[in-house]
Amino acid sequence: MKGVRCPSCNLSIDPSGFTIDLVVRLGDCEIRDWERFGQLSSTNQERVLQALESGLAPRELYPLLLKLKEVGALICT
């Protein structure tokens, strides 16, 4: 990859040797509907709880968080 730029300062960077973790920052979120949350697999329950605790979610978990928010099981401010 050539011509990669830092999103913060716009400096050109060499990405070789870097591992890029794409995460989404979460606001203050809490689970409001434990019954719906309980329908998730135990793995997804654990991943969601870890994300809520840390305030960061892996990008691949974001669609699930959005769905939980849409159905009212997750409230974020």
Whole-structure pTM value = 0.68
Evaluate if residue 51 carries a pLDDT over 70: yes
pLDDT digits (tens, 9 = 90+) for 25-43: 888 999 999 999 999 999 9
Domain membership of residue 2 (yes or no) is no
Evaluate if residue 20 carries a pLDDT over 70: no
Domain count, the chain: 1
Backbone angles phi, psi at 55, to 5 degrees: 85, 5
Evaluate if residue 17 carries a pLDDT over 70: no
Mean pLDDT of the 6-19 span: 70
Domain membership of residue 8 (yes or no) is no
Residue 72 CB burial class (10 angstroms; 0-12, 13-18, ≥19): exposed
Mean pLDDT of the 52-64 span: 91
Domain membership of residue 17 (yes or no) is no
Domain membership of residue 4 (yes or no) is no
Residue 74: CB atoms within 10 Å: 22
Mean pLDDT of the 49-65 span: 92
Domain membership of residue 16 (yes or no) is no
Domain membership of residue 5 (yes or no) is no
